[in-house]
Structure 1
Amino acid sequence: MSPRWEPDPDIRRGRSVIHHLHVHLVFVTKYRHGAFTDQFLRRCKEIMRDVCAGQGAELREFNGDTDHVHYPPSLALSTLVNSLKGVSSRRLRQEFPAHIRRYLWRQHFWSPSYFAGSCAGAPLSLIKDYIDQQKRPD
C-alpha cells in the first residue's frame, strides 16, 4: 500500500513528534556593546553550528550586527538557547580574551534575554534574505 501523498523532506519526524518548525533567534551582547568583528562572527557561527548539531538541530542561516546575532520540538527551545549561549560564550572568551575584555566586564558575554520567533510558514528564502541584509561589521 503506497502513501496518499509524497513525503515532504522538510517535515521532520521523531519517535513521538512530526514537525516543520523553523525558529529565528536573536541574541544580544551584554550592555549591547559593539563587540563583534567579522572574524569573531565567523568563529561564533562555527561554534553555534557544532552546538546545534550536537543537540539534533540545524543552523540554517547565521549573521550578525555589531551587537547581536541572528530546532526540534523534542528539545526545549530554552535548552538549545542555553547551550548555544553557554558554549559560544565560553569558547569565544577563551579564544578572544583581550577583545572581549575591551567591550564587556566580568564573565558575562550574552544578555540573559533572547528573542525567539516562529517563521510562521514564511519561505526560508525570505528569512535568509532578511538575515543576509544585516549590517555585518568588517
Structure 2
Amino acid sequence: MKLDSNNHSVFSLNYHLVLVIKYRRKVIDDDISERAKEMFISLGEKYHIALIEWNHDIDHIHVLFKTHPKTELSKFINAYKSASSRILKKEFPQIRQKLWKEYFWSRSFCLLTTGGTPVDVVREYIENQGMK
C-alpha cells in the first residue's frame, strides 16, 4: 500500500462518496456527469482532494477520492454541492424540466471510508455503476 505524506504525518485516507439527485430524478447523462466531475476536480484542489474514480447512474454519482488529514470534508461536500448545482442547472437547461426548484442534489450524502476494503475493490464497484 502506498502512503501519502506531508510535513508532519503519513496517511492513507480514501473515501467513497455517493451524491443523489433531489427526488431521485433521472437527470444525469454522460455530459452532465463529465461537467460535474470537472467541477469536483477543480474545487477538490483547493481542499487537497484528489479524484481516484468517478462514475454515475441516471440519478446519483459515485466518487472515490483521497485527501489529507486536515481536510474538512463536510465543508468541501457542501461547497461542491452548492456550486455544482448552480452551474449545472445554468449550463444544462434541460435539468429544469425535472428539477424546477433551486435544488439539484439531495440534502443528504453518503460518505464511507474504504476501511479494510482494498481500494481496487471499491474502484471496480464504482466503475461498474450504471451497467445493468
What's the TM-score, normalizing by structure 1?
Answer: 0.84
Identity, % of aligned positions: 34
- Size of the alignment, in residue pairs? 127
Specify the alignment match of 1:20 in structure 2: 12
Aligned-pair distance for 1:105?
Answer: 2.1
Aligned-pair distance for 1:110?
Answer: 0.5
Return 5+ residue gaps in structure 1 as ranges.
Answer: 1-7
What's the TM-score, normalizing by structure 2?
Answer: 0.87
Return 5+ residue gaps in structure 2 as ranges.
Answer: none
The structure that has the greater radius of gyration is: 1
The answer to whether the aligner puts 1:121 opposite 2:116 as a matched pair is: yes
- For the residues of structure 2 that align with 1:54 and 1:89, how far apart are their CA atoms? 18
- For the residues of structure 2 that align with 1:19 and 1:83, how far apart are their CA atoms? 24
Specify the alignment match of 1:135 in structure 2: 130
The answer to whether the aligner puts 1:109 opposite 2:109 as a matched pair is: no
- For the residues of structure 1 that align with 2:73 and 2:11, how far apart are their CA atoms? 14
Measured against aligned partners, the alpha-carbon deviations of 1:63-120 in whole angstroms (never above 9, x if no partner) come to: 0100001022201210121122122112212211x21111112111111100001101
Contact 1:26–1:114 (Cα < 8 Å) also in 2: yes
Specify the alignment match of 1:91 in structure 2: 87
The residue type paired with residue 129 of structure 2 is Q
Higher strand share: 2
